[in-house]
Amino acid sequence: MDWGMKNRISKIIRPETGRAVMLAVDHGYFLGPTRDLEVLKKTISPLITYADSLMLTRGALRSSVDSQTTTPIVLRVSGGSSVIGESLANEGLITSMEDAIRLNAVAVAISIFVGTQYEKQNLLNMAELVNQGERVGVPVLAVTAVGKELGKRDQRFLSLSCRIAAELGARIVKTYYCDGFEKVASTCPVPCVIAGGPKLETELDAFEMTYNAIKKGAVGVDMGRNIWQNPKPVAMIKAIRAIVHENMKPQEALKLYECEKNLKKSAAKKK
Ligand code: R5P
C-alpha cells in the first residue's frame, strides 16, 4: 500500500488503538432534514472534536463545517435517490474523485445494495470508484446498505455484502451489528465498522451493541442517530469513544454518560 493510502486510512483508524470513532451525518442525502439533524451546523459543532472522522456529503461539508477543522473528512459520494422515490437502491456517483481531493477527504464512501435489482449498477459503481481511488491514494469505504428493509440485517446477508465489498476493493467496510457478527467480521478481509441504525431504546442498548461489535471483530463505529438523536449527544459520543478506544464495558460507559450528562447541570447549580 502506498504512503498516501496508508496515511489516509490512519486518519480514520487511529494507529494508537487500531480503532475508529466515525460520526455519520450524511443522512440528509436521501432522508432530507432528519430529526435532530435539521440544522447541520448545530448538530455537528459540539460533536466534531470528539470524532476521529466525520462522514457527510460535499454540500453539508461546504455549507456547515469550518474549513479549519482538524477532524478528517470521509465524503459520501453515492446517492441520487430519496426516501419517497421508487427505490433507495437506485444510486449513482454524486461527487467526483477530483472534488473529493479538492475537499481534502481522507476517504470516499459509497453504498451497495446487494440482492436488489440495482446490485450490478451499485457494484460496478463501487469498482469504478475503487479504480479512481487507488489511482490517487484515496480509500473507498463501502456501506452495506439495506434501505428500508431493516430486517435484512442478518449474519448471512451482511457476511455476503461485506465480503463482496472487500473483494471488489473497498479498504474499509461499514455494516450493521447482528447476531453472529463474529462471522461477518472474520470473513471480511478488510476492517469493518458498524453503523448504529435507528435510535435504540436506551443508551445501554447502544453501548452494548458497540461493545459487542468491537469484541467480535469490528474496528469501530460509524454512528449517527444513536449519538445525535440522544438528548445529550456529547455525553453519548464520549461514552462511545471510551468503549471503542479504551475497551470500557457497557455499564461503565453508562456511568460515564450519566456523569457527563450531569456536568453542565451541576456547573449551572453552583452559579
Ligand atoms: C446511511 O446510509 C447513512 O450512510 C448513515 O451514515 C449510516 O446509516 C450511519 O448512521 P446511523 O448510525 O444513524 O445508522
For ligand 1, whether the C-beta of 193 sits within 6 Å is no
What confidence tier does 267 reach under pLDDT thresholds 50, 70, 90? low
Nearest-10 crossing angle of helices 233-246, 203-215? 20
What confidence tier does 60 reach under pLDDT thresholds 50, 70, 90? very high
For ligand 1, whether the C-beta of 146 sits within 6 Å is no
The mean pLDDT value for 65-88 works out to 96
pLDDT number for residue 270: 59
pLDDT number for residue 263: 82
pLDDT number for residue 85: 93
For residue 225, give the ligand 1 atom closest to its CA: 13
Residues with catalytic roles = 174
pLDDT number for residue 149: 77
- Rounded to the nearest angstrom, the distance between the alpha carbon of 86 and the centre of ligand 1 is 20
For ligand 1, whether the C-beta of 24 sits within 6 Å is yes
> CA–CA separation, 37 vs 60, rounded Å?
11
- Rounded to the nearest angstrom, the distance between the alpha carbon of 270 and the centre of ligand 1 is 39
Cell of 90: 437506485
Residue closest via CA to ligand 1's atom 14 equals 197
Instruction: Determine how many CB atoms are found less than 10 A away from the CB of residue 236.
Output: 25
Class of domain 3-199+220-230: alpha beta
- Rounded to the nearest angstrom, the distance between the alpha carbon of 82 and the centre of ligand 1 is 14
> CA–CA separation, 257 vs 43, rounded Å?
18
For residue 221, give the ligand 1 atom closest to its CA: 12
For ligand 1, whether the C-beta of 143 sits within 6 Å is yes
For residue 25, give the ligand 1 atom closest to its CA: 6
- Placement of cell 476521529 in the chain: 52
For residue 26, what are the β-bridge partners? none
90 pLDDT higher than 60: yes
Model pTM score: 0.95
For ligand 1, whether the C-beta of 133 sits within 6 Å is no
The mean pLDDT value for 141-170 works out to 91
271 pLDDT higher than 60: no
| Tens of pLDDT, residues 190-245 | 999 999 999 999 999 999 999 999 999 999 999 999 999 999 999 999 999 999 99
- Rounded to the nearest angstrom, the distance between the alpha carbon of 133 and the centre of ligand 1 is 22
Do β-strands 92-93 and 78-79 pair in parallel, antiparallel, or remain unpaired? antiparallel
The mean pLDDT value for 111-132 works out to 97
For ligand 1, whether the C-beta of 37 sits within 6 Å is no
> What sections of 1-118 are H helices per DSSP?
3-12, 28-31, 40-44, 58-64, 97-102
If DSSP codes are grouped into helix, strand and coil, which group holds residue 2? coil
